[in-house]
Chains A and B, each alone.
Chain A
Amino acid sequence: EDQVTQSPEALRLQEGESSSLNCSYTVSGLRGLFWYRQDPGKGPEFLFTLYSAGEEKEKERLKATLTKKESFLHITAPKPEDSATYLCAVQALGTDKLIFGTGTRLQVFP
């Protein structure tokens, strides 16, 4: 069964304290892995798509990487405005739907 597990469930960081969020996945064949950011009471906002092991993408303080079994979202020198829930999702080959993890709730304190 296709599955996505995110860890940790919650993460508290001091402003400027870099860290990483993990997304482990099991899928019959990976078509794509997606990262989203979700603010409270709002819909998720698309961040990145990764397709193959070794691929990396960056956006401001965020960098996403992909291996054959997991993806990491690295946050460098985070700011309070980076506080949000970060969602990971995978799409298997031959399907149209995304399978989401439960997310990591990130809080960055000044």
Chain B
Amino acid sequence: DGGITQSPKYLFRKEGQNVTLSCEQNLNHDAMYWYRQDPGQGLRLIYYSQIVNDFQKGDIAEGYSVSREKKESFPLTVTSAQKNPTAFYLCASSIDRSLGYTFGSGTRLTVV
């Protein structure tokens, strides 16, 4: 079955550490997105990519980095510069925005 796979489901980060969240899709979608979800807030866009080797900053890109070397993969790195990284991270893809996004199952990141 086609879909988006995010891993790991749970991730713990120590202070000063960089961590990378994986997002893989086999839907042949061109566009991929990373959102952050915090309690009481709407999903906020971190980065997005419309094609391979190209990506744009979203509303809250500071402290995050991405790459898009393959169509299927869009990993997100949470760097030590991100001061409040504890959140639920969602990856999504779309082939046609009118059909909405397909979301992964999310990664819950906690700072310990």
Residues of A within 8 A of B (CB): 4, 31-32, 34, 36, 41-47, 49, 51, 87, 89, 91, 96-103
Contacts and interface: CB of A to CB of B under 8 A. Distances in A.
A49 B99 contact: yes
A100 B42 CA distance: 5
Closest 8 CB pairs of A and B: A43-B103, A46-B100, A100-B42, A100-B43, A102-B42, A44-B103, A97-B45, A43-B105
Interface of B: 4, 6, 31, 33, 35, 40-45, 48, 50, 56, 58-59, 90, 92, 97-106, 108
Report whether over half of chain A's contact residues are helix, strand or loop; otherwise say mixed: strand
Q: Which of B42, B103, B105 has the most CB of A within 10 A?
A: B42
A102 B106 contact: no
Contacts, number: 62
Contacts of B102: 46
A41 B42 contact: no
Given A46-B102, A96-B48, A32 B90 contact: no
Contacts of B41: 102
Contact of A32 (B31, B50, B97, B108): B97
Given A44-B101, A98-B45, A100-B43, 17 more contacts: A32-B98, A43-B90, A43-B92, A43-B105, A44-B90, A46-B101, A46-B102, A49-B98, A49-B99, A89-B42, A97-B33, A97-B48, A97-B58, A98-B101, A100-B42, A100-B44, A101-B42
